[in-house]
Structure 1
Amino acid sequence: MHDRIIVALYHDIDVALRALNDLEGEGLSEAFTLLGNASAKATAGLAGENEAGRGFASAYRVVYDSTDSRVDTLKDFGVPDDEAHAFAEAVRRGAVVVVGRLDNVAFERALAVMDRYHPVDMDERVRAYQDAGWTRYDPAAPDYDAEQARAEWAAHVTGRDTGTRAAAADLRDANDAPLRSRVRSYAF
């Protein structure tokens, strides 16, 4: 029985694949699907899939090039409509979504693995999209290519100190504030 939906957005296909490999090591990967656009697929060097629609030598399902069905795929998992549109937009812009259904026991293990790979803060990302005029995912809008995806990522980290001082500040902040996961979850 599946009790929870868990969703994380990663900027980089390689990071998402590492998270999925760790989920596989926990025996959880069959519950997960990776959604990405064609540039993510090319970046990862995944030229094809096996007969089950999964990545080579992996138990998780991989979905690329499905611009018309991204929102529906996420909603089929149980992701609410507005958030499904936001995740689909992020995929269009070159990010990668890892989504799965788990029982409550497996959920905590999966959450720990997915958090370890520093998913994107979707609240922050949606605010940035909305500030630029975005309202909903448009399947007719072209996907970003690899260069546009890199520029998108750079635009979201511009102005941030990503060096040692920022890491130290993050550690200090972590001691002062409760830890907030960037992984989304929904009960059903």
Structure 2
Amino acid sequence: MIMSIIENKIMKKIKGFTLLEAVFAIAVTILCAQILFGLIGTLRKVNRQKTGVNEISYSYVQINNFLKESGHVEVSTTGSDPTKIVLRKLSDKKKKNGDLIYDTYVIDMSSNDVLRMRTDEGGHMPLLFQIKKIKCSTSKDSFSILVTEKDGRQSEMFFKTDLPKKKENKIQDEKKDKSKKA
């Protein structure tokens, strides 16, 4: 009996939340969750934009390094079109008749939306992902690539190449080689 009296007194002192307080607590929790999800979405968007700039820079550096470190590289204005750039790299080998040999490299967009550099022998190097379209233009000693990414951003990359070798240059090169050997 004494226990039940004590339990009744304790129960009277313990008060619960009212319905209004519970609804208010749920509303505050939902508001905090919405703010948090909005902040996470904004951070993801900013991170994607930064990543896009880094990827464009990376692809520019890769192509520029290829042009600078490969010796003589020229643009094939006849093979290139608005969807691809064809580059001709002078090989160290020469034909028996003295003609120059060129290795061919192509910069284009693959079927899975990747800007890549490839060779005729096979294989490729991915340069930039998430590409919507590219537009290429060439001149005798340069080329540019206008890249439109899937999120709508556009970037244009310009590159300087060597002038095409002429037959007179080939004869002069052979004379220089002979004079060095002598």
TM score, norm. by length of structure 2: 0.23
Higher normalized helix content (fraction of residues) = 1
TM score, norm. by length of structure 1: 0.22
| Structure (1 or 2) with the larger CA radius of gyration | 2
Higher normalized strand content (fraction of residues) = 2
Q: Higher relative CO (CA 8 A, sep ≥ 6), structure 1 or 2?
A: 1
